[in-house]
Amino acid sequence: MPHAQFDPTARRTLAVTAVDAKTRKDLSWQQLADAAGLSVAFVTAALLGQHALPEAAAKAVAELLDLDEDAVRLLQTVPTRGSIPGGIPTDPTIYRFHEMLQVYGTTLKALVHEQFGDGIISAINFKLDVRKVADPEGGERAVITLDGKYLPTRPF
């Protein structure tokens, strides 16, 4: 039976423990995802406290990270989501995403509604991908794909 959390403290503490174990063992997020049999974005988000893992995936990552049975159980609980406490984020990487939404949020909304109508893009039925590609002008570029199911607003 799925269980839900209402206080994010335990998952935050587990996230710190998991990241520490990942670092000590010199594991990549991809290696953890491969063990779990799920996408790297989903497993990373789960280990950072934003998703529940299926039992087999929770056991697989816990084994790699030397986490105990309590951690396995906690990794399977539905978390209280949201990893950025109130206000404008101060971490430069997260802040840039905030900035992108400040600049392009209304543009994205206008384009989504023009193409799909009134509704939302799901963050539940969702896929995320991050790739590094060469920049023709030198250096590298980040290609971030947010792939969410469109859910139309339905009158009731």
3-state secondary structure of 38: coil
Enclosing H/E stretch for 108: helix 92-116
Q: Is 81 a catalytic residue?
A: no
Q: Which of 24, 73, 81, 96 is catalytic?
A: 96
Measured CA to CA, the distance from residue 99 to residue 61 in angstroms comes to 33
Q: Cα dist. 113→75, 106, 120 in Å? A: 36, 10, 9
Catalytic site includes residue 28: no
Phi, psi of 80 (to 5 degrees): -85, 110
Question: Residue 44 corresponds to which amino acid?
Answer: T
Token look-up 């969410």 returns: 148
Q: Is 12 a catalytic residue?
A: no
Pick the catalytic residue: 24, 55, 81, 99? 99
Catalytic residue chosen out of the listed positions 24, 28, 81, 122: 122
CB of 53 closer than 8 Å to CB of 75: yes
> Residues with catalytic annotation?
96, 99, 122
